[in-house]
């Protein structure tokens, strides 16, 4: 037995031994070292091994699994020649990282797989279920392409495969070792598939200034006072949009030459050694400091952080002989904003809209050896209604392909006739040819099952018919091809808990002259969507009530800089809430976020614009809408349309055009038509907060998407006198006017609260606007809002009122709450604060009381009873202190120090238990709840003692040593009995030892103006947060310590591996 690894193939230990396995079953691959194999703990899977190789760092790259038919005893088979066929591959995971051999490092929680109720450490490999029985070699290998020179770690074993299949690998799919891979010792790349995607997030130098240092500008803007001597670059940037403008006659012609402006920052000879070293994704503004003065240049609406200014990013790119003849693209997932790119002092192009992803072709400007890349960004004041961030805040890539390749976002997969028995899959492919010769191309696409947790491409389940096409020289427009195939017994994608988010991947390969020109993977899911005007949304025939939230793009203390773990944490907490849907408010999300919601099974409304031609802020998108609405909308849909999570496209949010009659409707029609052209399977909509049913605007929309109008705006006595839109509940009127259109609430509630803050007296209403008066729920001095969860903006409604109106109108598909998490900016009602009060979850990720109100509604089977407020009120002895309980129970009895305060039953339209006349006395508050007469859930809160100690709790104790993985550590202030002090505000200092760093702290207080990077943070109502990041490639133990004057300190230890 041999793996045919050139030069140092090792002999098999027992070449006559076979592992028996049935075709279709799964085997488990584990890596370990012989010299570490002694004294394995009892019960471990590998007898005789002392430990897994946690320190093995040469372990990041693609994973490949091949098999070869021995055609007899494998001990006589040397594996030479074209005898190997691939059964599995795993490339980059979500977030742009390769697998790090976690299966070789004893990680049993994330990379393990389950069999028979136990979790095994290892990498799962499915043997093709239709494979012909016989003796096979299996070859599992890891390709360390990030090392120089490239290294390969193959491992082989004998398999005795049983079963009833008769499939053998076609001759054209067989490969040999060595010879399948092309390596070059001068470069870290491996030519595997004709396509290489390389992260270039490291090695950047950065400069930011609030003054224009180069006299460049995309176009004139209202905030530019001195327009003299400015060079306008718009004519050079507009051609970057041409691939997304359908009418060739409207394509922009690039001016000849380069702009007549000498810019030192784009020159290779410029000395940037004094600039800041940064790693992408990068948000320059989040480190602060906050503007705390009155009337600052950046106010509370945009987060009081220094987002404004011009920035430059510079980086070297090295091209080797391996890159010759390639087409090389720069792919930027998001840069805020007015991005302009130079390579070797040549202006390549750019993209103004900071939320969209875009591509530029670097090929004409590249040379062998060292190249100078420079990117300029321009962030104006008054450009957003919330915190936009600043910088290249998402991932950046180089994509290297052959001149003939699959175009950008060049596959489009839809499904039809979906049933448990079969589904028809339709595939459209666009091919690009940048080459100087015509050639005949063969196009082949296979469909495989996909394990989204591990990134493993599993067995093939279907294939599309092969086709050949001639790509002509100088073919400017991509060539389009259409295919259809059938998947039998499809594993459908759908939202948990009643369905599973199963995924597939279509692997498309281009062949010419007996070699692979390109390989392109398209993840997708098979599901049916029905938009029923009388019922709501049906997924795979099942009615799914939308339990959604709105999410802005920032990640709290990390700002706009995308981080996969931070985003995943947000989704995990939302999933525990019971949420099943996200509205991406109000802009395209990071691509990795859509991969996550696909994997976790969330439904998504994907949104792109907050304004059109009518402005909301002086420097917002309305300035570039006329030139960019088409390329922005088309590129957005092409990027995202293969994601099964997306149920609708939103091309506008509360736009001013909704009430401008035929003029606004004409703009809406223009955008809706683009949606229909780019995706024939999903509806297009725009969210309305003012349009009426008899206006032209809603006629254009495929879905009726209402913001706050459904439950009514300022329509009850507590809201009388507040200025703004006033309307009764509009669900019935829109349903009557549009009986064939599904209605959903794209924004509901807009309720306000500060975690753990309670003010007295408490309103008797079920919904009331925040006021700075007794019983009004607000305190302008502390800038806090009461957490009794009854208070809202003047245009909003409490959760209780929203639930009532949704129940009265069951044809409404569901809701998207504003908002899931607090976010930077828009701190209504106190714009001297930094962040919003809207969230069900605060900015640090701590659950507000409202979390449990929604949980009781959205997870009615969860045995939970949540009591509010806390019960430590030394200044309220003898005073009325109302007690509320959130639970899915239908009856509850409250006890104070053992004495019943009454047993209450929920009546229709009641969503909480209220005891409004409880007189405070210290001690213990206990609730016992019942459902259908049976005990349901109990809970207790008690009066706490003096603060005595700190407690640290990490969300994960083992994290990847990749330089981007995070641990979110909660610090709690406790009394001697271990109870959280509910009003504690102790100053806490954090320190760290080991291969990590503290990158931010927070506490969820919207009024806290201490910069996020500070290592000292006051607890807010008992809690604070510290965020730790690993160092790339450095494993080991990380110890985090928290200290506070007068309190016992606390430590927590993390493992980076």
CA distances from 438 to 326, 475, 641, 697 (A): 16, 9, 31, 49
Nearest CA to 217 out of 202, 230, 208 is that of: 230
H/E stretch holding 909 reads: none
User: In 143-244, where does DSSP find H-type helix?
Assistant: 234-237
C-alpha separations of 712 from 440, 730, 796, 802, 927 in Å = 62, 6, 8, 9, 34
Catalytically active residues, by annotation: 654, 747
**Quick one: how far is CA 883 from the chain centroid?**
37
Alpha carbon distance 757, 1004 (integer Å): 12
Name residue 151's beta-bridge partners.
144
Buried b (16+ CB within 10 A) or exposed e, 601-621: bbbbbbbbbbbbbbbbbebbb
Contacts of 262 (CB under 8 A, 6+ apart): none
Helix, strand, coil percentages for the chain (3-state, nearest 5): 15, 40, 50
Burial 453-483 (b: 16+ CB within 10 A, else e): ebbbbbbebbebeeeebebeeebeebbebeb
DSSP string, 742-760: -EEEEEEE-B---TT---S
Strand 339-343 to 118-120 pairing: unpaired
CA-wise closest residue to 373 among 403, 396, 400, 401: 396
Helices 564-577 & 591-600 angle (0-180, nearest 10): 40
- How far apart are the C-alpha atoms of 851 and 828, rounded to whole Å? 19
Q: Residue 142 and residue 279: Cα distance in Å, rounded? A: 26
Please, are residues 552 and 823 in contact by the beta-carbon 8 Å criterion?
A: yes
What is the rounded radius of gyration, in angstroms, for the C-alpha atoms of the chain? 30
Q: What SS3 state is found at 173?
A: helix
Contact 757, 784 (CB under 8 A): yes
**Cα–Cα distance, 73 to 160 (Å, whole number):** 10
Calculate ∠ Cα 26-27-30, nearest 5°. 145
Contact 490, 449 (CB under 8 A): no
Contact 305, 336 (CB under 8 A): no
Q: How far apart are CA 982 and CA 971, in angstroms?
A: 13
What distance in Å separates the CA atoms of residue 849 and residue 758, rounded to the nearest whole number? 11
Report the DSSP beta bridge partners of residue 460: 448
Task: Say which residues have a Cβ less than 8 Å from residue 275's Cβ, sequence separation at least 6.
Answer: 205, 206, 207, 312, 314
What number of other Cβ atoms are within 10 A of residue 736's Cβ?
Answer: 9
Are the C-beta atoms of 814 and 545 separated by less than 8 Å?
yes
42 CB burial (10 A radius; 0-12, 13-18, 19+) = exposed
| DSSP per residue, 813-882 | -EEEEE-SB--BS--TT-TTSSB-S--SB-TTSPBPHHHHHHHHHH-TTS--EEEES-S--TT-TTSB--
């Amino acid at each position: 037995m041999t793996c045919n690894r050139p030069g140092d193939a090792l002999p098999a230990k027992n070449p006559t031994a076979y592992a028996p396995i049935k075709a279709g079953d799964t085997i488990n691959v584990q890596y370990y070292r012989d010299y570490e194999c002694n004294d394995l703990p009892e019960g471990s899977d590998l007898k005789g091994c002392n430990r897994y190789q946690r320190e093995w760092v040469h372990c990041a790259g693609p994973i490949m699994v091949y098999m070869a038919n021995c055609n007899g005893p494998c001990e006589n088979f040397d594996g030479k020649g074209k005898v190997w066929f691939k059964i599995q591959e795993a490339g980059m995971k979500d977030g742009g990282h390769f697998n790090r051999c976690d299966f070789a490092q004893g990680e049993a929680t994330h990379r393990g797989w389950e069999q028979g109720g136990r979790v095994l450490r290892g990498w799962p490999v499915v043997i093709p279920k239709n494979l012909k029985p016989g003796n096979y070699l299996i070859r599992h290998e890891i390709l360390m392409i990030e090392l120089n020179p490239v290294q390969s770690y193959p491992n082989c074993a004998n398999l005795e495969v049983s079963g009833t299949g008769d499939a053998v690998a076609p001759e054209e799919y067989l490969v040999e070792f060595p010879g399948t891979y092309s390596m070059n010792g001068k470069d870290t790349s491996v030519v595997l598939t004709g396509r290489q995607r390389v992260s270039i997030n490291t090695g950047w130098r950065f400069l930011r200034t609030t003054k224009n240092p180069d006299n460049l500008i995309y176009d004139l803007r209202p905030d530019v006072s001195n327009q003299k001597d400015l060079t306008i670059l718009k004519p050079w940037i507009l051609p970057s949009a041409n691939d997304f403008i359908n009418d060739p006659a409207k394509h922009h012609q690039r001016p000849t030459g380069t702009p007549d402006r000498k810019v030192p920052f784009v020159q290779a000879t410029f000395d940037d050694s004094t600039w800041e070293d940064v790693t992408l994704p990068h948000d320059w503004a989040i480190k602060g400091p906050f503007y705390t003065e009155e009337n600052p240049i950046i106010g509370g609406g945009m987060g009081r952080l220094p987002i404004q200014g011009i920035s430059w990013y510079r980086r070297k790119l090295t091209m080797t002989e391996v890159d010759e003849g390639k087409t090389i693209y720069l792919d930027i997932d998001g840069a805020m904003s007015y991005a302009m790119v130079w390579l070797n002092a040549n202006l390549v192009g750019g993209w103004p809209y900071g939320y969209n992803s875009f591509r530029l072709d670097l090929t004409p400007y590249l040379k062998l050896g060292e190249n100078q890349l420079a990117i300029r960004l321009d962030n104006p004041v008054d450009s957003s209604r919330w915190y936009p961030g600043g910088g290249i805040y998402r991932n950046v890539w180089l994509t290297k392909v052959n001149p003939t390749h699959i175009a950008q976002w060049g596959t489009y997969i839809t499904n039809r006739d979906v049933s448990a028995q079969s589904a028809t899959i339709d595939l459209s492919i666009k091919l690009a040819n940048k080459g100087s010769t015509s050639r005949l191309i063969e196009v082949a696409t296979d469909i495989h099952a996909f394990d989204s947790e591990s990134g493993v491409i599993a067995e093939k389940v279907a294939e599309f018919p092969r086709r050949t096409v001639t790509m002509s020289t100088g073919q400017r427009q991509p060539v389009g091809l259409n295919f259809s195939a059938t998947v039998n017994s499809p594993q459908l994608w759908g939202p948990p808990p009643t369905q599973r988010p199963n995924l597939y991947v279509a692997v498309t390969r281009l062949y010419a002259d007996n070699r692979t020109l390109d390989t392109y993977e398209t993840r997708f899911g098979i599901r049916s969507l029905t938009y029923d005007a009388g019922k709501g949304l049906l997924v795979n025939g099942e009615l799914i009530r939308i339990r959604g939230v709105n999410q802005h793009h920032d990640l709290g203390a990390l700002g706009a800089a995308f981080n996969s773990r931070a985003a995943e944490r947000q989704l995990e907490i939302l999933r525990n809430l019971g949420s099943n849907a996200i509205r991406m408010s109000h802009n395209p999300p990071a691509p990795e976020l859509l991969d996550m919601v696909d994997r976790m099974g969330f439904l998504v409304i994907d949104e792109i614009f907050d304004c059109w031609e009518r402005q909301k802020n002086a420097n917002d998108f309305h300035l570039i809408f006329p030139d960019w609405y088409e390329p922005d909308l088309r590129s957005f849909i092409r990027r995202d349309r293969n994601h099964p999570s997306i149920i609708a496209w939103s091309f506008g949010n509360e736009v001013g055009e909704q009430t401008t009659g035929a003029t606004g409707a004409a703009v809406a029609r223009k955008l809706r038509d683009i949606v229909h052209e780019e995706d024939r399977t999903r509806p297009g909509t725009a969210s309305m907060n003012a349009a009426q049913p008899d206006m032209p605007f809603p006629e254009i929309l495929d879905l009726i998407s209402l913001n706050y109008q459904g439950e009514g705006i300022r329509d009850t006595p507590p809201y009388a006198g507040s200025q703004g839109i006033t309307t009764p509940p509009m669900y019935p009127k829109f349903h009557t006017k549009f009986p064939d259109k599904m209605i959903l609430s794209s924004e509901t509630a807009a309720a306000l609260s500060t975690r753990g803050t309670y003010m007295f007296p408490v309103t008797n209403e079920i919904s009331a606007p925040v006021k700075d008066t007794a019983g009004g729920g607000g305190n302008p001095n502390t800038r806090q809002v009461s957490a009794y969860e009854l208070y809202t903006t003047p245009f909003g409604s409490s959760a209780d009122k929203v639930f009532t109106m949704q129940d009265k109108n069951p044809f409404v598909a569901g809701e998207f709450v504003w908002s899931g998490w607090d976010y930077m900016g828009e701190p209504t009602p106190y714009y001297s604060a930094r962040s919003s009060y809207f969230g069900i979850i605060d900015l640090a990720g701590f659950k507000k009381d409202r979390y449990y109100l929604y949980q009781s509604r959205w997870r009615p089977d969860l045995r939970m009873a949540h009591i509010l407020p806390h019960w430590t009120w030394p200044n309220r002895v003898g005073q009325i202190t109302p007690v509320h309980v959130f639970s899915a129970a239908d009856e509850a009895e409250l006890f104070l120090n053992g004495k019943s305060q009454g047993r209450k039953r929920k009546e229709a339209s009641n969503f909480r238990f209220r005891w409004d006349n409880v007189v405070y006395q210290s001690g213990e508050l206990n609730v016992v709840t019942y459902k259908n007469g049976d005990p349901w859930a109990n809970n207790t809160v008690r009066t706490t003692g003096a603060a005595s100690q700190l407690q640290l709790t990490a969300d994960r104790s083992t994290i990847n040593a990749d330089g981007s993985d995070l641990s979110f550590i909660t610090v709690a202030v406790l009394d001697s009995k271990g109870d959280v002090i509910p009003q504690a505000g102790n100053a806490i200092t954090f320190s760290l030892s080991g291969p990590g760093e503290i990158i931010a702290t927070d506490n969820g207080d919207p009024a806290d103006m201490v910069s996020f990077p500070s290592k000292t943070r006051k607890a807010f109502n008992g809690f604070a947060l510290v965020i730790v990041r690993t160092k790339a490639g450095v494993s080991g133990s990380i110890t985090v310590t928290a200290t506070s004057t007068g309190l016992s300190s606390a430590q927590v230890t993390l493992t980076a591996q």
